[in-house]
Amino acid sequence: MEGDRDYREGADYRVNVKSKKHVREQLEKYTDLFKKFLDGQCHISEEDKTKLLKEMVVNFEFTVQENLVVGGLSWDEASEDYCEDYESTITDIMDEKIVETACKRNSYPKQIRNLDVRSLRAERKLLGLYEQAVKPQDLKPDPAQEFVIRNVSAAAPAVFKQASTVMKSSDDEEKRLKRREKNRVAAQRSRKRQTQRADELHEAYECLEQENSLLRKEVQILIEEQQRLTDALKAHEPLCPILNCGMTSTSRSIGTVSPEFMSR
């Protein structure tokens, strides 16, 4: 027990680091953490928070520095620019891995070969122990089945030809039905166009009939007006001898409306 106690007392439990610069960078991160912690304390004034922050940072840094060793030296003894050579460390690790890989390449194939040989021997033993539980028998074909198979084989080409003919006829019938449907649709469209044309002609005929009736009415009005004017002139003819000469020439030039025009 005393020996263990002496060993514990003489042992160095400080953490060995490789650079003071990296440690300082990590310590600066804890300053913000302490500041956030003090900001959450509402009952402490700003001056007290500033003092407490400084004390906490100083105590924390001092404690960390006391428990660190930089390259085997204490914090104060080590220089600020001290930093171990990482390249040499990485090179040593790579060399160890290369040697380990080379050893595995030499040893693993031999182990795999022994396992393959053992597996092949085990398979051969299993094949030697295998026995046929059922003896194979020669199957003789049935003459009736052979006759049926021969007939089916002989009738197959004719059936195939008949099936192809039926398929072609069905295709032709389908084409014929499509053509008939197409002609029916075309005839329906033609009848529809003819009906529309007949309706248009009927509407035009009705319009012309209406115009003709209007023209007849206008002609009748003009004839009546002419008759009225003629009667008026005849009534004034005894009073004005000049009208006598004018009436004869006017009657000759105007004439009468033909009954054919009135029938139109």
- Tokens standing for residue 94: 């790579």
Concatenate the DSSP letters of all residues of 71-131 into one string. TTB-TTTS-TT-B--HHHHHHHHHHHHHHHHHHHHHHHHHHHHHHHHHHHHHHHHHHHH--
| Tally of helices (H runs) and strands (E runs) in the chain | 7, 2
Q: What is the CA radius of gyration of the chain?
A: 64
Q: What is the tens place of the pLDDT at every residue in 56-95? A: 888 988 888 888 888 777 878 877 766 655 556 677 778 8
67 neighbors 15 (Cβ within 8 angstroms)? yes
Apex 215 CA angle, 212 and 219, nearest 5: 140
| Residue 88, both tokens | 């040499």
pLDDT of residue 9: 55
Q: What is the pLDDT of residues 116-131, one digit of tens each?
A: 888 888 888 887 766 6
Rounded CA-CA distance 54/31 in Å is 9
Looking at residue 156, what is its pLDDT? 86
**Beta strands 68-70 and 15-17, pairing class:** parallel
Do the beta carbons of residue 259 and residue 252 sit within 8 Å?
A: no
Give the model's confidence band at 232: pLDDT under 50 very low, under 70 low, under 90 confident, else very high. Answer: confident
| Average of per-residue pLDDT across 135-146 | 77
| 150, pLDDT greater than 60 | yes
Residue of 33 and 9 predicted with greater confidence: 33
Other CB atoms within 10 A of residue 216 CB: 14
Name, in order, each residue with C-beta under 8 angstroms of 41's C-beta and a sequence gap of 6 or more.
Answer: 49
Q: What integer pLDDT is reported at residue 255 of this predicted model?
A: 47
Asked if the model's pLDDT at residue 1 lies above 80, the reply is: no
Q: Are 16 and 71 in contact (CB under 8 A)?
A: yes
pLDDT in tens, 166-223: 888 878 888 888 888 988 888 888 889 998 998 899 998 999 999 999 999 999 999 9
Quick one: pLDDT at residue 67?
87
pLDDT at 20 over 90: no
Residue 154 has pLDDT above 60, yes or no: yes
Q: Where are the beta strands (DSSP E) in the chain?
A: 15-17, 68-70
Q: Which two tokens stand for residue 140?
A: 């003789």
